[in-house]
Chain A
Amino acid sequence: DAMVIQNPRYQVTQFGKPVTLSCSQTLNHNVMYWYQQKSSQAPKLLFHYYDKDFNNEADTPDNFQSRRPNTSFCFLDIRSPGLGDAAMYLCATSRDRPGPSNEQFFGPGTRLTVL
């Protein structure tokens, strides 16, 4: 089945130790998104790629970076994780830019713990 896959599902890192989260998709969608979701809060968009075009949200900290080496894969790099970065990180895709009938498909998420 076509889907959005995130690895690992659970990630534990130490304060300040760089970590990379992975997302892959078999939907061949143009757009890939990274969201951060903390407990009882809305998913917060960090950035998205439209094909190779990177779009950063204005309030995304510099500590968060992303790479999209090809259509299928997208990575979230956290250069120096702090305790406040512990959250669920959700990857999503959509066929085209946000708009009517362009739903997003979410991966199962990676739950990040920072010790």
Chain B
Amino acid sequence: RKEVEQDPGPFNVPEGATVAFNCTYSNSASQSFFWYRQDCRKEPKLLMSVYSSGNEDGRFTAQLNRASQYISLLIRDSKLSDSATYLCVVNDRDDKIIFGKGTRLHILP
């Protein structure tokens, strides 16, 4: 099993729709979790940290399920500008940082 797995997509979603994707991780001792956004040929930028209690930032909601070892990202009322690759990042106790390959999202007008 890969350390961090994501569905590569692409997810083609009409503007205004809700979309969700998951990221699974293999190490149950993983400590912290993040979602980054990466636009084509640009650097990754932090979208949200993912906390145990779940967290929301505007149209974006992130959740952590430790029992099943996955994190999720929900985007409501999607905008054209949400089109990007969404990278899941997992940090282990020994400072190991692992990026998922990313999920490509295309918002369709």
Contact = CB atoms under 8 A, between A and B. Distances in A.
Contacts of B95: 48, 50, 55, 97-98
Interface string B28-57: 000110100000011111100101000000
Contacts of A97: 95
B22 interface: no
B91 interface: yes
A21 to B, nearest CB: 14
Interface stretch (B11-19, B66-74, B97-105): B97-105
A90 interface: yes
B87 A99 contact: no
Contact of B32 (A45, A90, A98, A108): A98
Which of the four size classes fits the interface of chain A?
20 to 34
Q: Is the interface of A mostly helix, strand, loop or mixed?
A: loop
Which of the four size classes fits the interface of chain B?
20 to 34
B43 A109 contact: yes
Contacts of A45: 97, 99
Given A43-B99, A98-B95, A98-B97, A103 B34 contact: yes
B51 A42 contact: no
A45 B43 CA distance: 14
A56 to B, nearest CB: 12
A106 B44 contact: yes
Interface of A: 33, 40-45, 48, 50, 55, 88, 90, 97-109
